[in-house]
Chain A
Amino acid sequence: MKRITIDPITRLEGHGKIQIFLDTEGDVANAYLQIPELRGFERFCVGRPAEEMPRITNRICGVCPEAHHMAATKALDDLYGIEPSSAVQKLRELFYMAFYVTDHTTHFYALGGPDFVLGPDAPPAERNILGVIHKVGVEIGKQVIDCRMRNHGVIKLLGGRGVHPVAGLPGGWSKALSEEDRVKVEAIAKENVAFAQFSLKLFDDIVLGNKKYVDLVCSDAYSHSTYSMGMVDSSNRVNFYDGLIRVVDPEGKEVLLYHPKDYAEHIGERVEPWTYLKVPYLKDIGWQGYTDGADSGVYTATPLSRLNVSDSMATPLAQEAFERFYETLGTGKVDGRYRPVHFRLATHWARLVELLYAAERMLELSQDEEITDPNLRPQVTNTPRMGIGSVEAPRGTLTHHYTTDENGILTGVNLIVGTTNNYAAIAMSIKKAAMSLIHAGVIVTEGLLNRVEMAFRSYDPCMSCATHSLPGQMPLELTIRDADGNIIQELSQYVGSEA
Chain B
Amino acid sequence: MRTLIIGMGNPILTDDGVGVKVARVLTEHLAGRSQIKIAEACTGGLRIMEMALGYDRVVLIDAICRKGGRPGVFHRMTLADIARMSPTQNMASAHDTSLITALEMGKKLGLELPGEWIIYAVDVDDIHDFSRHLTPEVARAVPRLTQTILDDLGIASAA
Interface residues of chain A, those whose CB is within 8 Å of chain B, are: 8-15, 36-41, 43-44, 56, 59-60, 62-64, 103, 106-107, 110-111, 124-125, 128-130, 133, 138, 141-142, 145, 148-149, 152, 163, 460-462, 466-475, 493-499
Size range of the chain B interface in the assembly: 35 or more
- Report whether A44 and B12 are in contact in the complex, using a CB–CB cutoff of 8 Å: yes
Determine the distance from Cα of A11 to Cα of B13 in the docked complex, in whole angstroms: 22
Given A8-B88, A62-B42, A469 and B10 contact (CB-CB distance below 8 Å): no
Chain A residues, CB < 8 A from B87: 8, 472, 495-496
Judge if B135 is at the interface, Cβ distance under 8 Å. Answer: no
The one of A64, A469, A499 in contact with B16, judged by C-beta atoms closer than 8 angstroms, is A469
Determine the distance from Cα of A10 to Cα of B94 in the docked complex, in whole angstroms: 9
Given A59-B11, A152-B50, A39 and B129 contact (CB-CB distance below 8 Å): yes
- Report whether B129 and A129 are in contact in the complex, using a CB–CB cutoff of 8 Å: no
- Report whether A62 and B98 are in contact in the complex, using a CB–CB cutoff of 8 Å: no
Interface residues of chain B, those whose CB is within 8 Å of chain A, are: 8-13, 16, 40-44, 46-47, 50, 62-69, 82, 84-99, 101, 104-106, 108-109, 111, 119, 121, 124, 127-131
**A146: nearest chain-B partner, CB-CB:** B109
Determine the distance from Cα of A145 to Cα of B52 in the docked complex, in whole angstroms: 13
Chain A residues, CB < 8 A from B44: 62, 468
- Report whether A56 and B12 are in contact in the complex, using a CB–CB cutoff of 8 Å: yes
Chain B residues, CB < 8 A from A466: 10, 13, 16, 42
Chain B residues, CB < 8 A from A64: 95
The one of A8, A40, A56, A469 in contact with B131, judged by C-beta atoms closer than 8 angstroms, is A40
- Report whether A141 and B130 are in contact in the complex, using a CB–CB cutoff of 8 Å: no
**A-B contact sample (16 more), CB < 8 A, given A470-B85, A497-B85:** A8-B88, A12-B94, A38-B128, A59-B10, A60-B10, A110-B96, A125-B89, A163-B47, A468-B93, A469-B64, A470-B121, A472-B82, A472-B86, A494-B65, A496-B86, A496-B87
- Report whether B109 and A497 are in contact in the complex, using a CB–CB cutoff of 8 Å: no
- Report whether A473 and B10 are in contact in the complex, using a CB–CB cutoff of 8 Å: no
- Report whether A138 and B42 are in contact in the complex, using a CB–CB cutoff of 8 Å: no
- Report whether A469 and B65 are in contact in the complex, using a CB–CB cutoff of 8 Å: yes
Chain A residues, CB < 8 A from B101: 128-130
- Report whether A12 and B129 are in contact in the complex, using a CB–CB cutoff of 8 Å: no
Chain A residues, CB < 8 A from B121: 470
Chain A residues, CB < 8 A from B11: 59
| Most chain A beta-carbon contacts within 10 A, residue among B62, B88, B94 | B94
Determine the distance from Cα of A7 to Cα of B33 in the docked complex, in whole angstroms: 44
Chain A residues, CB < 8 A from B16: 466-469
**A462: nearest chain-B partner, CB-CB:** B94
The one of A12, A62, A152, A475 in contact with B65, judged by C-beta atoms closer than 8 angstroms, is A475
Given A141-B109, A461-B94, A494-B65, A471 and B130 contact (CB-CB distance below 8 Å): no
**B15: nearest chain-A partner, CB-CB:** A469
Chain A residues, CB < 8 A from B47: 163
The one of B12, B90, B127 in contact with A59, judged by C-beta atoms closer than 8 angstroms, is B12
Determine the distance from Cα of A130 to Cα of B104 in the docked complex, in whole angstroms: 8
| Most chain A beta-carbon contacts within 10 A, residue among B13, B64, B95, B104 | B95
Given A107-B95, A128-B90, A498 and B84 contact (CB-CB distance below 8 Å): yes
Determine the distance from Cα of A181 to Cα of B12 in the docked complex, in whole angstroms: 33
Given A163-B40, A467-B13, A468-B10, A11 and B94 contact (CB-CB distance below 8 Å): yes
